[in-house]
Amino acid sequence: MNKKIVCLGGGSLYFRSLGHILISKELAGSEIVLYDLDAEKIERMARMVRGLAKQSGGGFRIRATTNLADAVDGASFAISSIGGSGAEISPHVYGSYYHHNDIKIPEKYGIHQVIGDTGGPAGMMMGLRSIPAYLKICREMEKRCPGAVLFSHSNPMAILCRAMHKYSSIQVIGICHGVQGGVERAAKLLELPQGELECVWIGTNHYYWITRLRHHGRDVLPQLMKKVHALKNGDVSPLSMKLSAIYGSKILYDSDDHIVEFYPYLTQIQGGIENLPYGMAKSAQAHGGTLSPMHPRQAAKDPVLRRQFMKKYQTILDASRLPEGHKSNEDIVRMIQAISTGKREVVIANVANRGSVPNLPATAEIEVEAVTDSCGVRPVYMGEAPLVLKAMLEKRFAWHELVVDAAVTGNRQTALQALMLDDMAIRPELAEAMLREMLVASRDLLPQFFKKR
């Protein structure tokens, strides 16, 4: 099978995972093109991938380019890992100047965020900066590879997928590992093999509930909920477990630092991030809460800082190895193989609802099981959302819509409406001031908000 697979944001360390493609016999002989704004990063990444490709013996052709048209021309598949920090030199978006401001500016207004890539002011800003870059890529793909499938790995997952589904014709599949991790956690609680659980869930990226759970045809959801009720406060994910007990339905992906973004608790903290509940201060510090600000152009142009970064970057690349097996949490390789051959496989994907959950909007971005074939993926029927979950999700989907439209139009009022709809909303006059400050901090990546009207 000879395919062209383009890696968008190819200098991202996410693409160390290309080894899973390189050991695929079905994809042997394919061309892998690494595209990035930073030529030095992708050349280093390309050298590493070439080395792994040679070891794999699969006849893969590897090249790098900074030309988007060249990268996507004739592509069968694209995989994106583009954060909301432009070409800044940082190991990941959470270590960037921009995300630092997304976290620190809201702190002044009483919003103490943890990760800041799904909801809240930081999630919104990450979306506002990223969406124009993704739509630019989609425009080029519409001209040069209209039938290609784009796998989007970046956050804010649901916002980016909604933007591309609404404003382009490219087929986009969002890829995450939250469901897989949640099922693994449920299996451990039940002391059952993960592969034997039959799980149905409903929700959007980083937030979903189990609605049905069986083992060899036997309903084990009551047993799981009994285990949840028995957990002590010191156990893993105490917030998620407490909420699950209240709802009577297990939150599937129970990472507290993601779950908390769907609730107003982060506007109720007194003091700094050290006072975050449920032990979340450590996660907040790891996601930008303790960085020192530096102007992005200063960081990018400072030769000493760049050399230091590239040295660390190269050390990480040098440690890359081919995987020992085909299985990976996000399973992009299996999807590419299945779509290429028209094979029907059941996968986990972020897609537009289209009736999978009939009491939610058809355009809502949900994370569900889906069936592959040569046309791509189609969501399977998951059933209706319980009332409380339906209410939470519909508000979230409206927020997605406002963020997407604000990013495309540069309309500040629409962005302000998104802030006021979010669960981390503050008083209108404070939200207006916070928005002005956050937009100025990201001005060089948000020209659409500074055009004279």
Residues 430-448, mean pLDDT to the nearest whole number: 96
Angstrom CA distances, 310 to 37, 40, 353, stand at 15, 9, 42
Cα distances from 262 to residues 118, 248, 391, 437, in angstroms, run 9, 18, 12, 23
Provide the token pair at 47.
């050298």
Residue 202 CA to residue 205 CA, distance in Å, equals 10
Region 52-62 average pLDDT? 96
pLDDT of the residue at 294:
58
Alpha helices in 145-255 (DSSP H): 157-167, 178-190, 221-230, 238-247
Average pLDDT over residues 396-400: 98
When pLDDT is averaged across residues 134-153 and rounded to a whole number, the result is 97
What element of type H or E holds 63? strand 61-65
Residue 140 lies in a domain: yes
Domain-located, residue 111: yes
User: What's the whole-number mean pLDDT along residues 53-76?
Assistant: 97
- Angstrom distance (rounded) from CA 209 to CA 56: 40
Q: Is the pLDDT of residue 291 over 70?
A: no
Tens digits of per-residue pLDDT, 240-258?
A: 999 999 999 999 988 899 9
Give the phi and the psi of residue 346 in degrees, each rounded to 5.
-95, 125
Structure tokens at 335: 């999807």
% of the chain beyond a pLDDT of 70: 93
pLDDT band at 329 (very low <50, low <70, confident <90, very high): low
Among the residue ranges 37-41, 297-301, 389-393, the one predicted with the least confidence is: 297-301
Number of domains in the chain: 1
State the pLDDT at residue 281.
Answer: 85
In tens, the pLDDT along 85-118 reads 766 667 678 878 899 899 999 999 999 999 999 9
* Rounded distance between C-alpha atoms, residue 273 and residue 136, angstroms: 36
> DSSP letters of 401-426?
HHHHHHHHH--HHHHHHHHHHSTT--
Q: Among 31-35, 293-297, 334-338, 355-359, name the one with the lowest average pLDDT.
A: 293-297
Kind of pairing between the strands at 346-352 and 365-373: antiparallel
Average pLDDT over residues 55-71: 97
pLDDT of residue 442: 94
pLDDT-derived band of residue 416, with 50, 70 and 90 as boundaries? very high
Please give the residue that has the higher pLDDT: either 286 or 400: 400
- Average pLDDT of span 112-135: 96
Answer yes or no: are the C-beta atoms of 262 and 119 closer than 8 Å. yes
Could you identify the residue written with the tokens 């000879």? 2
0.75 exceeded by pTM = yes
**pLDDT for the residue numbered 283:** 85
Residues near 424 by beta carbon (within 8 Å), at least 6 away in sequence = 106, 111, 113, 119, 120, 121, 261, 264, 266, 267
Q: What is the mean pLDDT of residues 135-160?
A: 97
Instruction: Flag whether 190 is in a domain.
Output: no
Residue 21 pLDDT level (bands cut at 50, 70, 90): very high
Average pLDDT of the chain? 92
* Domain housing 312: 4-176+299-340
For residue 252, give both structure tokens.
């599937």
Query: Is 104 inside a domain boundary?
Result: yes
Q: Where residue 110 sits, what CATH number does that domain have?
A: 3.90.1820.10
- 11, part of any domain: yes
Lowest-confidence range among 17-21, 64-68, 89-93, 290-294?
A: 290-294
164 within 8 A of 138, measured Cβ to Cβ? yes
pLDDT of residue 163: 98
Instruction: Give the pLDDT confidence score for residue 274 in this predicted structure.
Output: 82
- 197 found inside a domain: no
Residue 366: predicted pLDDT: 98
Tell which residue, 339, 442, 310, has the closest CA to residue 76. Answer: 339
pLDDT at site 328: 59
Average pLDDT over residues 171-199: 95
Average pLDDT over residues 391-420: 98
Tell me the pLDDT band of 450, cut-offs 50, 70 and 90: very high
Residue 389 in domain: no
> 324 in a domain, yes or no?
yes
Question: Which pLDDT band, with edges at 50, 70 and 90, does 295 fall under?
Answer: low
pLDDT tens by residue, 303-326: 888 888 899 999 999 999 999 865
